[in-house]
Structure 1
Amino acid sequence: MKIAQIAPLFESVPPRLYGGTERVVHYLTEELVKQGHKVTLFASGDSITSAELVSCTPRALRLDADVRDSVPHQMLQLDKVRERADDFDVLHFHTDYLHFPLFRAEAGRTLTTLHGRQDLADHLPFYAHFAKMPLVSISDAQRAPLPRANFVATVYHGLPLDLHTPTFAPRGCYLAFLGRISPEKGPDRAIAIARAAGIPLKIAAKVDKADEAYFREVVAPILNGPGVEFIGEINESEKTEFLGQAAALLFPIDWPEPFGLVLIEAMACGTPVLAFRRGSVPEIVEDRRTGRVVSTMEEAVQAIPDVLALDRPSVRARFEERFSASRMATDYLSLYQKMARRRPGPEGEFSALAARSLSIAEPVGRVTAPRPQSEAN
């Protein structure tokens, strides 16, 4: 198939440091190329890919000190996609909904994976207005606030199986917090849990400008106490050691997490997870199998011994069964092919894709059928 992947421009594909959406786009793109499809990636010019790269801005916007407004860059990207739209069987967008007005007439050829939270009131009338645009959620919980939106599937994220080498006998004897410093991610909760359990905590996280006040006023003052080490932002190659040597990952979120890529990164390392029951967590973490899912701070502290006792090879095995990049690509290919079969060709016949009988096995991951009008880095 001829597939366009349209990535956000804020980070490169893959990102140098933090960046969940762009990382997922990278894994999906590379797996599709590996499987023999012709993929074109619309992304920042500093991206690295096996696909054809269409540079839509010289470098990732977050790393470009000269960028003051992202919208012109995003508009230029969409215009480049529009100019080449007829070259592709599928236009797969990962850029939220900015393209909806421009590609409404091409709805049958577009697929939009929503990567962020969808529980904001502003979203409801927008998705209702663009009811024909096919959407993919990354968890059933993510789509719950939008019962009128046109969700055609839920596809869980996946990672390459060789990305992280699992560690079954960690020597670190610490709990890990990985991601971003912000109130909804709960680093202050992680510190409180670790100290209550009497286990050291290492925090590897970035601090966005929007969260500098929270870091300065809430997190920094409690970093100076015993048993907490703040490492800062780490890159992809450092994650294997950081997560693999940890006794467990703490994920004490206080927001409707759409997916939580760090959850499956930890599982890939064989590291169990202690996570709060918000958003996607009950779908991703299997309680008492790959981690513990709790609702309160008291439950979290009490659950620490259970988490540490979980079998790390089993955690890794469940990651391989549920969250591989090949499974993710297979799920998306199933959707692409269904879209192509339903789209009439220039003479009213089904597309060449359907005629070629490109059959694949039924997805082994989580792909759900559209829900009745009566579930969303």
Structure 2
Amino acid sequence: MKIAQVAPLREKVPPLNYGGIELVVSRLTDELVRRGHEVTLFASGDSETLATLEAVYPRALRLDPDVSDYDLYEMLELSQVYQRFAEFDVIHSHIGVMALPMASLVSTPTIHTLHGSFTPDTSKAFSYHQNQPYVSISDAQRKVDLNYVSTVYNGILTENYSFFERAEEPPYLAFLGRLSPEKGPQNAIAIAKKSGWTLKMAGKIDEVDTEFFAAEIAPHIDGEQIQYLGEVSHPQKVELMGKAAATLFPITWREPFGLVMIESMATGTPVIAMNLGSVPEVINDGVTGFVCENIDEMVEAIPKVLQLNRQVCREYVENKFTVTQMVNGYEAVYEKIIQQRIESNGRIHAAKIQY
């Protein structure tokens, strides 16, 4: 198949440090190339890929202080993609609503993976283009009535995640993710303080979250019980999670998937998470972590998490959330959509002959 992958431009593919969507796009694209498909990746110019790379900007937009309007460059990226639509059997968009209008104007089908949650505004946009093919990354994500072709869980290369047989002594809790209200770092701090445990936090601070960080997070960082390690690299992230007794996932929104959960379990570290969005689909409650209803339950789960089998956590990810399984799912989606297009064209051709 000839496949176009369309990535956001805020981060490179794969991301330097933080960037869940870009990591998924990277793993998907490279594995499709390994399977013999002809893949073109539309992404930032500093991206690294086995596919043919096409870029409208030389570097990740977030790293360029001269760029203030990200949407402008993603619009240019989409123009580049859809001017070449006839070259592809299928276009796979990972950038949300911006691709919808152009996708409706060309004959090559566009598959949209929904990487985010719905807002009132985006719900209207997606509903206007209801019949385009969509892939959800969890069943819980399906809060708007759309043409869902499949649910395909995100996958990781487990070989890139070292397995840690035991937690470091003295034990600590880990938090990884954007330092934003919906990711719940404020809840992670509350859990650490209520339990008396040490909390090690890592993740990026987007410009929109700087006031939140200054008001709700920074005052609690003492370098001892509450530690902030900044935006860590992949090896540092793996070590931070792998040596932890548990990873906290105390979100305040309906998380569509939550890559951090499977990354943590791949290292052997169970996850204690808030019961929102995809969490019950990703964690095997009582086996690879605990799904909780509130902060108090998360505190109560900490001593119980020490009894869980870390090898089982690793095997759970290997059996359910690998790149191989993810790409199998997307290949099936591509084949289904292409076949539907062939059949539709055949019906149109037959109707013209009959007429």
Query: Following the alignment from structure 1 to structure 2, what is the Cα–Cα distance between the partners of residues 30 and 236?
Result: 18
Amino acid at match of 2:124: P
Aligned CA RMSD, in angstroms, stands at 1.8
CA 1:274–1:316: 2 relative to 1, 3 Å: same
Amino acid at match of 1:209: E
Match of 1:184 among 153, 161, 182: 182
What's the CA shift for 1:341?
Answer: 1.3
Q: Which residue of 1 aligns with 2:28?
A: 28
CA 1:75–1:313: 2 relative to 1, 3 Å: same
Pair 1:86-2:86 in alignment? yes
What's the CA shift for 1:348?
Answer: 3.2
Q: Which residue of 2 aligns with 1:317?
A: 315
Query: Counterpart of 1:201 in 2: which secondary structure?
Result: strand
What's the CA shift for 1:225?
Answer: 7.8
Query: Following the alignment from structure 1 to structure 2, what is the Cα–Cα distance between the partners of residues 221 and 72?
Result: 37
Structure 1 segments (4+ residues) deviating >4 Å = none
Amino acid at match of 2:44: S
Query: Following the alignment from structure 1 to structure 2, what is the Cα–Cα distance between the partners of residues 206 and 84?
Result: 35
What's the CA shift for 1:13?
Answer: 0.3
CA contact 2:202–2:230 (8 Å) conserved in 1:
yes
Query: Counterpart of 2:202 in 1: which secondary structure?
Result: strand
Query: Following the alignment from structure 1 to structure 2, what is the Cα–Cα distance between the partners of residues 15 and 103?
Result: 26
Q: Which residue of 1 aligns with 2:8?
A: 8
Q: What do residues 99-156 of structure 1 show as CA deviations (whole Å, max 9, x unaligned)? A: 21112034762100011111x2123332222122111111111112x0x222211111
CA contact 2:89–2:108 (8 Å) conserved in 1:
no
Give the number of equivalent residue pairs.
347
Q: Which residue of 1 aligns with 2:149?
A: 152
Which residues of 2 match residues 193-232 of structure 1 at below 5 A?
193-224=191-222, 226-232=224-230
What's the CA shift for 1:263?
Answer: 0.5
Query: Following the alignment from structure 2 to structure 1, what is the Cα–Cα distance between the partners of residues 151 and 73?
Result: 29
Q: Which residue of 1 aligns with 2:342?
A: 344
Which residues of 2 match residues 1-377 of structure 1 at below 5 A?
1-106=1-106, 109-118=109-118, 120-144=119-143, 146=144, 148-172=145-169, 173-224=171-222, 226-344=224-342, 348=346
Query: Counterpart of 1:113 in 2: which secondary structure?
Result: strand
Query: Following the alignment from structure 2 to structure 1, what is the Cα–Cα distance between the partners of residues 55 and 292?
Result: 44
What's the CA shift for 1:230?
Answer: 0.9
Amino acid at match of 2:175: F
Deviates more, 1:258-267 or 1:232-241: 232-241
What's the CA shift for 1:300?
Answer: 1.0
What's the CA shift for 1:345?
Answer: 7.9
Q: Which blocks of at least 5 consecutive residues in structure 2 are unaligned?
A: 349-355
Amino acid at match of 1:170: A
CA 1:76–1:108: 2 relative to 1, 3 Å: closer
Q: What do residues 168-215 of structure 1 show as CA deviations (whole Å, max 9, x unaligned)? A: 123252110001111111112112212322221101121111111111
Amino acid at match of 1:128: S
Q: Which blocks of at least 5 consecutive residues in structure 1 are unaligned?
A: 351-377
Taking structure 1 as the reference length, the TM-score comes to: 0.88
Q: What do residues 52-110 of structure 1 show as CA deviations (whole Å, max 9, x unaligned)? A: 10112111111111112122211211111112211111100001021211120347621
Structure that is richer in helix per residue: 2
Q: Which residue of 2 aligns with 1:363?
A: none
Amino acid at match of 1:202: K
Query: Following the alignment from structure 2 to structure 1, what is the Cα–Cα distance between the partners of residues 176 and 19?
Result: 12
Query: Counterpart of 1:232 in 2: which secondary structure?
Result: coil
Query: Counterpart of 1:343 in 2: which secondary structure?
Result: helix
CA 1:195–1:92: 2 relative to 1, 3 Å: same
Query: Counterpart of 1:98 in 2: which secondary structure?
Result: helix
CA contact 2:97–2:122 (8 Å) conserved in 1:
no
Taking structure 2 as the reference length, the TM-score comes to: 0.94
CA 1:193–1:47: 2 relative to 1, 3 Å: same
CA contact 1:107–1:132 (8 Å) conserved in 2:
no
Query: Following the alignment from structure 1 to structure 2, what is the Cα–Cα distance between the partners of residues 281 and 83?
Result: 39
Query: Following the alignment from structure 2 to structure 1, what is the Cα–Cα distance between the partners of residues 248 and 344?
Result: 54
